Structure 1
Amino acid sequence: MLTGKQKRYLRSLAHHLNPIFQVGKGGVNDHLITHIQEALEARELIKVTILNNCLEDREEVARELAEQSGAELVQKIGKIVVLYKESKENKSIELE
């Protein structure tokens, strides 16, 4: 579980990132989760966009992405979700 201070720090790092995944009308599926897990291992911090044609609730999609990928939900603003998971091999972000 991340503290408020850690989340603020991660939000500041994520500000300049571009979203690398999109959740569309297919919703959250195993294929998407696998790719998100691989990206989190490589980058630790990623942004995901929830498209307008996604039929599920955005809050629910954000929660599902975090749970199924084993990541922490750092932030959800509008259609953008920020996820963090500490990398086992490519650790680059130091949290206090």
Structure 2
Amino acid sequence: MHLSNKQKQYLKGLAHNLKPVVQLGGNGLTEGVVAEIENALSHHELIKVKVPSDDREEKALIMDAIVGETKSTKVQTIGHVLVIYKASEDAKISLPKK
């Protein structure tokens, strides 16, 4: 799903007050973590995921893998936090028109 800049700005505003729902541990990105992220996405549509990693390239690869595995859309990254969006069947968030 491609989001326009207007839609991304709207989602960033909604995500501002959210706390990270999922935090990766020492084992990194496992199947269980991906399942938990997908579960949170289906329930909330817009979530934050904390990816604690000192290596920038590794962190970027993990974030790209999360977006790819969950088929979600990356809204924003701030430091170690990734904001992703995936519309569910019963849409809770109504996006502005493109």
What is the TM-score with the length of structure 2 in the denominator? Answer: 0.88
In the alignment, structure 1 residue 93 sits paired with structure 2 residue 88: no
Aligned counterparts of 2:46 and 2:38: Cα–Cα separation in 1: 11
C-alpha root-mean-square deviation of aligned residues, in Å?
1.8
Cα pair 1:24 1:53 within 8 Å, conserved? no
Q: State the shift of 1:50 in Å.
A: 1.1
Structure 1 ranges of 4+ moved more than 2 A:
52-56
SS of residue paired to 1:57: helix
What is the TM-score with the length of structure 1 in the denominator? Answer: 0.89
Q: For structure 1, which segment, 8-17 or 52-61, has the greater mean C-alpha deviation from structure 2 after superposition?
A: 52-61
The aligned counterpart of 2:47 is: 46
Aligned counterparts of 1:24 and 1:55: Cα–Cα separation in 2: 17
Compared CA separation, residues 13 and 45, structure 1 to 2 (3 A): same
SS of residue paired to 1:73: strand
What 5-or-longer segments of structure 1 have no aligned partner? none
Q: How does 1:1-96 map to 2 (within 5 A)?
A: 1-52=2-53, 57-89=58-90, 91-95=91-95, 96=97
Q: Percent identity?
A: 35
Q: Which amino acid aligns with 2:83?
A: V
Q: Which amino acid aligns with 1:83?
A: I
Cα pair 2:15 2:46 within 8 Å, conserved? yes
> Over residues 1-32 of structure 1, what are the superposed CA-to-partner deviations in whole Å (9 max), with x where a residue is unaligned?
11111111100000000001111321111111
What 5-or-longer segments of structure 2 have no aligned partner? none
